[in-house]
Amino acid sequence: MKKLKIAALLLGSMLSASASATLLYDTNLTSNVIMGSGISNGGFTVDQANGFELGLRGKIRHNATGAAENTFNSNGDGTYSFDVGVAPTQSSPTGVWSFEWSINSNFDGNGGFLNGYTYILGLDTDPSATAAFFTFDPINDVNPNPSSGVVAWDHSIGNNTTAQSAGVESASNDAATYAGLISSNNVAQNSWKPHWYIPGFDPTVDGIYDISLSAFDANGGLAASTSIQIIVGAGATAVPEPQTMALLLTGLLGFAARKKFAK
């Protein structure tokens, strides 16, 4: 009974937050884009709430020459469109596109450092009209893709004044440095190819991939949440919004409950 009651409260808070959230489309982050080299701002789908700024976007990761571009292919409504197929100069399962995320846990002075909160990144593993979410905490969890060779996360980390492309990354085996970075900074960003974190990703299949990013306050309440759709090739028949949201919230609910009872 206790688990069911907590689950109901979590679901209620998520539904309330999702109903009232106002996302900003095709916009800049308030901080610089501190990851990588020469990566520009813009094209993000952003939620700003309760001290958090969460951003997601799609991006061309491999163009005709195999190079990355600052081309985000935003449709201005939280959807991003890309070609289907294996990326030029690359081998399968590398696709043309990547997705980029940003967490700012104190964009307006009403938050704190990154390690004071929990987060959920939800990745749709099914390109068809059915959504199936793989979820993890990209700040506090152990990297769920050990084949990447990254033991400690290699996010670019900084604060509201960190210069363009000047984020600090910990070495792949330096968990202590990473822990120090997230306990003294409020911005974390990364750029990921879909096959790194979407189990079974096939770049040759047309489809629609839903990606969500949520932040929870120190009491476990949903504080902010953003989401995007990556439309690949001709796409697929989109899931009606209420069904997509119900599936997403169910996945988030299960993840949050597991984390709560694991403590």
Using one digit for the tens of pLDDT, what is the confidence trace for 65-97? 999 999 999 999 999 999 999 999 999 999 999
Question: What is the pLDDT averaged over residues 29-33?
Answer: 98
CA 14 to chain centre: 17
The per-residue pLDDT for 258 is 45
Distance CA 59, CA 46 (A): 15
In this structure, of 6-20, 23-37, 158-172, 205-219, the range with the lowest mean pLDDT score is 6-20
Average confidence score pLDDT of the chain? 85
In this structure, of 108-117, 122-131, 200-209, the range with the lowest mean pLDDT score is 122-131
Is residue 263 pLDDT above 70, yes or no? no
Q: What is the pTM of this model?
A: 0.85
Residue holding tokens 């571009």? 69
**C-alpha angle 42-27-145 in degrees, rounded to nearest 5:** 65
